[in-house]
Amino acid sequence: MTTPGTLYLLPNTLGKTNGNATHPEEVLQIIRHLDVLIVENIQNATRFLQWVGDTVPEFKIEFYPLTKKTSDIDLLEYIKPLKKGKNAGVLSEAGLPAIADPGARLVELAHKYHIPVRPLVGPSSIFLALMGSGFNGQQFQFHGYLPMDDKACSQKIQELEGQSKRHDISQIFMETPYRNTSMITRILSQCKDDTRLCVACDLSLDSEEIISKPVDEWKKMQKHPDYDHSKWNKRPVIYLLYAR
């Protein structure tokens, strides 16, 4: 009977830097010897392999696309190489697979077929942001993306603020980068002045920026003539709210 391969969950960076301050060498060695890569975007995955260096030649690696639209039938096909003893890695566009990411479906299937699953150490913008916020790290919730509808999004922000105050919880969520400016504006308009807002941007990159202030101080900062209201545009951001 063939021993199944291992499904590795590969951390990815928000962007590529000249140095490597995010991935242990052991993790890089595992990536360099994989047989299969299951990825959101093959072109971006190829650039990731170039950054890792010394990988198996691209033509010897099987690439499978994995998005939220990937069918259950396709996922079963992706499991077949693992059942035959090949090692596979799941790679998100950024961050950790299966966290606000379609990779969770494949992990569930791997467990169903008794395929070993091994998450690897690497950057998590969610936890980096929480660490850098100064908010409650004992109790926190991650909500992924908030509703796109303006009214529903505003209601959700008010709901998260209320829950944070009642239960002493740090609330964490994300937004599509091109909507960052409008998201910050919405938060400042919906939240009380003493609620604390942390905006953690470009985590682990040279351009990393973490600003953690009460809402009233954010409002004052934005009124300063030198403040650049477009500074968050098209940059990956994690948001945290904390009300006491």
Please give the C-alpha separations between residue 228 and each of 106, 135, 196, 232, 233, in angstroms, as whole numbers: 42, 25, 21, 9, 10
Topology match between the domains 7-119 and 125-242: no
pLDDT of residue 91: 93
Domain 7-119, architecture per CATH: 3-Layer(aba) Sandwich (3.40)
pLDDT of residue 57: 66
Label residue 202 left, alpha or beta by phi (over 0 means left) and psi (-120 to 50 means alpha). Answer: left
pLDDT of residue 56: 67
Class of domain 125-242 (CATH, top level):
alpha beta
Question: Residue 34: CA atoms inside 13 Å, Cβ hemisphere, count?
Answer: 27
Q: Would you kindly state where each structural domain of the chain is located, as residue ranges? A: 7-119, 125-242
Of the candidates 143, 142, 233, which has an alpha carbon nearest to the alpha carbon of residue 185? 233
- pTM value is 0.88
Rounded Cα distance, 241 and 169, in Å: 9
pLDDT, one tens digit per residue, over 111-122 is 999 999 999 988
pLDDT of residue 238: 96
pLDDT of residue 119: 97
Question: Residue 146 phi/psi, 5° resolution?
Answer: -80, 165
Q: What is the mean pLDDT of each run of 10 residues along the chain (244 residues)?
A: 93 78 89 93 87 72 92 95 96 88 93 97 92 97 95 97 98 94 96 98 92 97 88 93 96
pLDDT, one tens digit per residue, over 123-154 is 899 999 999 999 999 999 999 999 999 999 99
Q: Which two tokens stand for residue 62?
A: 């099987």
- Stated as kind and residue range, the H or E segment containing 169 is none
pLDDT of residue 29: 92
- Stated as kind and residue range, the H or E segment containing 76 is helix 72-83
